[in-house]
Amino acid sequence: MASFGSVRSLERGLKILEALNRCHGAKAQQIARMVDLPRPTTYRLLETLDALGYIARSKSDDGWHLTPQIKMLSAGFHDDVWIARVAAPVVHELGKEVLWPVDLVTYQNATMIIRETTHVESPFSIDRGMAGSHLPILGTSGGRAYLSFCPERERALILQRLRRSDEPYDALARDKTFVTRLVEETRRVGYGSRSEGFNPHTASISMPIRQGERVLACVSIIWIARALSFADAVARNLPPLRKAIGQIEAQLQGLDAAVV
């Protein structure tokens, strides 16, 4: 825990940018509700962000939108080369084939992070602005796949960390019977799955991208739970998912180890 307090205006301004990224534009009253701030405060922050060039108000619908200048905030961020060069094109092709949203997630600090996603492109996505989101390991198919297929020593360290966490989904790590059954079943079928919990409106399956014993990332296909039975969704989506994983792993073999 830092010894100094947070800068509230900065914290609130960033929350507004996050909200606009999720909804792709909104009126001031809507933004105030989304970030739980008084309207006068919201207006002042919107005007400040407007003056800095990060957002602008549309004359057609009176809504606030992010501007291209927002990309400057990530201009110095360098993602893993292999994700951009190898995995991303395959992930987006998979999204075009299955139409449902596809995420590529990696492990970091006891969570899974969405590094690449087709949510914006999918006609069936109900969750926008997912890139960069942190997801619970035991509450998502990607996290379950990663935990199940990573090396045993790494799995033990991850579980040890989750058991010390106060997050609700991490508490499942304290149930050794649940974890053992989850890992055994996931390894048996070859993919992680979720049909409940984290997002009750959706379900998903996920497979690991492996290089030797390492799990580099996992690719997940997410669908609206009421649209398909779980069995039908797996039957339709598992073959193209398995093919995409094979393509990524095959291409990784030809890359220099320094970029992976």
Distance, C-alpha 15 to centroid of its chain? 18
What's the pLDDT score for residue 3? 45
Q: What is the pLDDT of residue 109?
A: 85
pLDDT tens digit sequence for 38-72: 999 999 999 999 999 888 888 767 889 888 777 66
Contact assessment for residue 187 and residue 149, using Cβ atoms and an 8 Å cutoff: yes
pLDDT in tens, 167-191: 989 999 999 999 999 999 999 999 9
Q: What is the pLDDT of residue 190?
A: 98
The tokens describing 120, both together, are 């914006």
Q: What gap in Å lies between CA 32 and CA 36, rounded to an integer?
A: 6
Contacts of 18 (CB under 8 A, 6+ apart): 129
Tokens encoding 138? 């035991």
Residues of the chain with confidence (pLDDT) below 70: 1-6, 24, 60, 71-72, 74-79, 128-129, 255-260
What sign does the dihedral 230-232-238-240 (CA atoms) show? Answer: negative
- Is the C-alpha dihedral spanning 108, 72, 60, 46 positive or negative? positive
235, 175, 170, 227: which is closest to 197 by C-alpha?
Answer: 170
Rounded CA gap, 54 and 192, in Å?
Answer: 39
Contacts of 226 (CB under 8 A, 6+ apart): 201
Q: Which pLDDT value is given to residue 69?
A: 79
Radius of gyration of the chain from Cα atoms?
20
Q: What is the pLDDT of residue 254?
A: 73
- Residue 188 CA: distances (Å) to CA of 63, 87, 138, 149, 169: 50, 25, 17, 11, 23
Strands 134-135 and 214-224: unpaired
Q: Is 201 exposed, middle or buried (0-12, 13-18, 19+ CB in 10 A)?
A: exposed
> Which pLDDT score is estimated for 1?
39
pTM of the model: 0.71
Give me the pLDDT at residue 18, please. 86
Residue 2 has a pLDDT of 44
